[in-house]
Amino acid sequence: MKLLEGKRGVVFGVANHHSIAWAVARAAAAEGAHLAVSHVNDRMARRVEPLARELGVALCGPCDLSEDAQIDAWFAQVAEVFEGRLDFVVHSVAFAAREDLAGAFVDTSREGFALAMDVSAYSLLGVMRRAAPLMADGGSVLTMTYVGAERVVGNYNVMGPCKAALEAAVRYLAHGLGPAGVRVNAISAGPIKTLSAAGIPGFRDMLKHAAAHAPLGRNVTPDEVADAAIFLLSDRARAITGEVLHVDAGYNIMAV
Ligand SMILES: NC(=O)c1ccc[n+]([C@@H]2O[C@H](COP(=O)([O-])OP(=O)(O)OC[C@H]3O[C@@H](n4cnc5c(N)ncnc54)[C@H](O)[C@@H]3O)[C@@H](O)[C@H]2O)c1
């Protein structure tokens, strides 16, 4: 039996075929899931729609997670195509203005900090407020974080506090939604070359550093993150919630 056979899931965060969300969507479809895949705007639609068609998704459309009206409209469509039932959500979304990822952290503007927090952390609450009522039989929610939440990574800047807030939100949501049988977890992935990663100055050095210091002596692939994601989304992880699972070749355990 496939791990997600017959389950209905929403995936946020596919930008192109390099996206971690795309690897998760592909793996989920291969495990028998029915999917609704969103993209952030019309510019992204050109890339995302052909990918979504490859998977034969039930729904593909825009949903900017910084706009409540768009989240409402998206979940109204999800409820319709999935007949009011949802089993899982993949939230693989983050954003910070380029100028806030360069230069000194102390110079982050009030607007830049608020924008990054809104899209990268608050959006998980915005999503779950609409998704949880559709999870009448319980469900599984997964978001993506990075070791920069726990420790300082040069140039990660404002995204560090955003990921720390996101990880705390995972625990608070797990507590709040646990009685309804909804599990909420995060994967802390090692660095992977994607569109978002390209916005972080010195990202190639981060890749080199992680590979040089991780116990497994290498970086991770989107498919390896997707394999762990499928486990957390599936009933195999039915007793796991509020967890941050590192999929980083062991990098996070190292000191010297
Ligand atoms: N690539 C890495 O090294 C790495 C490591 C650990 C964690 N992550 C996290 O994984 C997640 C996915 O990133 P990725 O590396 O696959 O890059 P990506 O650029 O492919 O994905 C980021 C997604 O966020 C979406 N997005 C941005 N603003 C949005 C908004 N307002 N509404 C809806 N969607 C919006 C983008 O359209 C894009 O699809 C992010 O949370 C990222 O922080 C990435």
Asked if residue 214 is part of any domain, the answer here is yes
Which residue's alpha carbon is nearest to atom 26 within ligand 1? 93
Mutate to test the pocket of ligand 1, among 10, 20, 41, 46 (most ligand atoms within 8 A of CB): 20
pLDDT per position as a tens digit, 113-150: 999 999 999 999 999 999 999 999 999 999 999 999 99
CATH code, domain carrying 26: 3.40.50.720
Q: In ligand 1, which atom is closest to the CA atom of 13? A: 39
Q: Does residue 122 carry a catalytic annotation? A: no
For residues 176, 115, 200, 195, the Cα torsion angle rounded to the nearest 10 degrees is 80
The predicted pLDDT at position 199 comes to: 86
Alpha-carbon span 192 to 54, nearest angstrom: 23
The verdict on the CB of residue 149 being under 6 Å from ligand 1 is no
Mean per-residue pLDDT over the chain, rounded: 97
Helix, strand, or coil here: 136?
Answer: coil
pLDDT per position as a tens digit, 6-21: 999 999 999 999 999 9
Average pLDDT in the 193-216 region? 95
Helix, strand, or coil here: 8?
Answer: strand
Asked if residue 74 is part of any domain, the answer here is yes
Q: 48 and 35 in contact (C-beta within 8 Å)?
A: no
**Catalytic residue selected from 122, 156, 172, 251:** 156
pLDDT per position as a tens digit, 141-179: 999 999 999 999 999 999 999 999 999 999 999 999 999
The predicted pLDDT at position 135 comes to: 98
Asked if residue 2 is part of any domain, the answer here is no
Q: 147 and 94 in contact (C-beta within 8 Å)?
A: no
Distance from the alpha carbon of residue 98 to the mean position of ligand 1, in angstroms: 14
Q: 164 and 121 in contact (C-beta within 8 Å)?
A: no
Asked if residue 243 is part of any domain, the answer here is yes
Q: 28 and 9 in contact (C-beta within 8 Å)?
A: yes
Asked if residue 3 is part of any domain, the answer here is no
Asked if residue 1 is part of any domain, the answer here is no
Q: How confident is the model at residue 250 (pLDDT cuts 50, 70, 90)?
A: very high
Q: How many folded domains does the chain comprise?
A: 1
Q: 39 and 21 in contact (C-beta within 8 Å)?
A: no
For residues 94, 96, 102, 108, the Cα torsion angle rounded to the nearest 10 degrees is -130
Alpha-carbon distances of 245 from 196, 225, 248, rounded to whole Å: 21, 10, 9
The predicted pLDDT at position 102 comes to: 87
Q: Angle, to 10 degrees, between the axis of helix 123-131 and the axis of helix 159-177? A: 20
pLDDT per position as a tens digit, 30-72: 999 999 999 999 899 999 999 999 999 999 999 999 999 999 9
The verdict on the CB of residue 30 being under 6 Å from ligand 1 is no
**Taking the CA of residue 187 as centre, how many other CA atoms within 13 Å lie in the half-sphere pointing to its CB?**
30
- Domain of 73 in residue numbering reads as 8-248
pTM: 0.98
Q: Does residue 146 carry a catalytic annotation? A: yes
Q: Which residue has the tokens 């729609």?
A: 49
Alpha-carbon distances of 251 from 164, 209, 220, rounded to whole Å: 18, 9, 10
pLDDT at residue 109 greater than cutoff 90: yes
Q: What are phi and psi of 40, to 5 degrees?
A: -75, -35
Asked if residue 123 is part of any domain, the answer here is yes
